[in-house]
Amino acid sequence: MVRRCGALIAALALAGCATAGPDYAGPPALSPQAGYGQEAPGHAAPGIGPEQAWWTLFGSAELDRLVGQALNNNPTVGVARATLERAQARLAAATGQRLPQADAHARVDHQQVNLSGFGLSDSLGAAGIGNPEFDLFSLGAGVRYDLDLFGGQRRAIEQAGADAHAQARALEAAHLLLAGRVVQQVFAIAALNDRLAVEQALIAEDERNLHLTRARERGGVGTMVDVLSAQAELNADQAALPIVHQQLAEGRAVLAALLGITPAELGPTPQRLANFSLPSPVPVTLPSDLIHKRPDILEAEARLHGATAAIGVAAARLYPSITLGATIDQASTHPDKLLGSSFRGFDLFAGLTAPLFHGGTLKAARRAAEADARAAAERYRDVVLSAFAQVSGLLAALETDAQALAVRTQGVTLSERSLHLSRRSFEVGNSGMLQVLDASRAHQRARLALLDAQARRHVNVARLLAATAGGWTGNPPTP
């Protein structure tokens, strides 16, 4: 009988060598015409794109230190890292289910046997013998093994592996996102420091204008109107300082949160935009390489793989399963005789379980898994399209920023020349203070506009580098 069961099981195992569900084939290849829809400007170099630690291209050791601190301390990245560890543990658990499962047990019982259940109570009762009561000691072990005829466990391992891979890519994406936010926040603080310097220079200029108007008014060649106009301009520019200081405080608080510390623990932030060198040319990843490099795309692809494997898990539940096993038990009423061969028993078994009727639940579960896979495919497509659109927009912004910077630089030069001539004309009495104040306001607007253009260019370069950079696994690189 044992030989016949073994032959039957071997035949079923050979028959069930195919794994249920579709094999993962990956998303369709990128078409040769696929691209960003935007030519790279002259100061951008299409190629393999930026390296993993892309922020080092700005040539600032302090920026490298801040990014490294954020990658090691930020709570959001810590959550992503712990989630990856959970996914890896689940993969190990799924892999362990594929192996034979063995258990041991030990038990002590105090029992009373009901003899009436054996039809002996009347005769033994007449003899004055009651239900026996005794202690029973037992030891045993058992092993079970699922043949996994239709690959349900194999698909479960495949699904867990894909989920772990997706979470690893999600951690990489979290690294990139955090690094980008830190770099942009540092640039914002640097721009505010520059703006503060510009505002302070403008106040010094206003004080100089006020001094001149007062001197002319005392000399009888100026009017009180000129003095009041100069005083009003000074007060207006002084009122802008508290706003810049407030923005700096808020920017520092945001940066501290990104670094995983409190604002009180954040040291000085004296950065200026001139402290950072922009890479020239800016490296840009080719479209054909982006889908094999960008973490959010690779995460979406891994999610698609996991959803495909889930179809196999659901499909395998529609087919029979066979379990092999064995148990051995030692039992005795006396502990010192527990290991004796006369107190041993064993069991060898093979069991088959096949679904007969579940109200359509199993087929519905498979249809749901198939729908999840189609949704995952659409999400992958959406991530790819969004990534291409983002890079396209940033390439256009890079060109626009270069043009705006040239125009703003010229505007500062012209307004500075106009202010100089207006002041000389005022000093020799050919014009009034209002002309000087108008020229001063124009120069102020030009300088602030140039500063905004410089800050915007720094931020857009950082965004483009982060949008086309790859991620890394494990611990983040040390700056």
Mark out the alpha helices in 260-294 (DSSP H runs).
Answer: 287-290
pLDDT-based confidence at 197, cuts 50/70/90?
Answer: very high
pLDDT-based confidence at 260, cuts 50/70/90?
Answer: very high
Domain ranges of the chain: 37-100+153-319+362-468
pLDDT given at position 7:
52
pLDDT-based confidence at 119, cuts 50/70/90?
Answer: low
When the candidates are 3.60.20.10, 1.10.10.10, 1.20.1600.10, 2.60.40.1180, the CATH number that belongs to 37-100+153-319+362-468 is 1.20.1600.10
pLDDT-based confidence at 255, cuts 50/70/90?
Answer: very high
Of 292 and 257, the structure prediction assigns the larger pLDDT to 257
pLDDT digits (tens, 9 = 90+) for 126-167: 666 767 888 888 999 999 999 998 999 999 999 999 999 999
pLDDT-based confidence at 211, cuts 50/70/90?
Answer: confident
pLDDT given at position 346:
87
CA angle 103, 355, 24 (to 5 degrees): 85
Q: Which of 317, 323, 321 is nearest to 358 (CA)?
A: 317
pLDDT-based confidence at 319, cuts 50/70/90?
Answer: very high
CA torsion through residues 423, 427, 428, 430, sign: positive
pLDDT-based confidence at 428, cuts 50/70/90?
Answer: confident
pLDDT given at position 38:
66
pLDDT-based confidence at 293, cuts 50/70/90?
Answer: confident
pLDDT given at position 439:
86
pLDDT digits (tens, 9 = 90+) for 198-210: 889 888 888 888 8
Q: What is the 3-state secondary structure (H, E, C) of 299-335?
A: HHHHHHHHHHHHHHHHHHCCCCEEEEEEEEEEEECCH
Please list, in sequence order, all residues whose beta carbon lies within 8 angstroms of the beta carbon of residue 375, skipping any fewer than 6 positions away.
307
pLDDT given at position 462:
94
pLDDT given at position 233:
84
pLDDT given at position 256:
96
pLDDT of 15 higher than 50: no
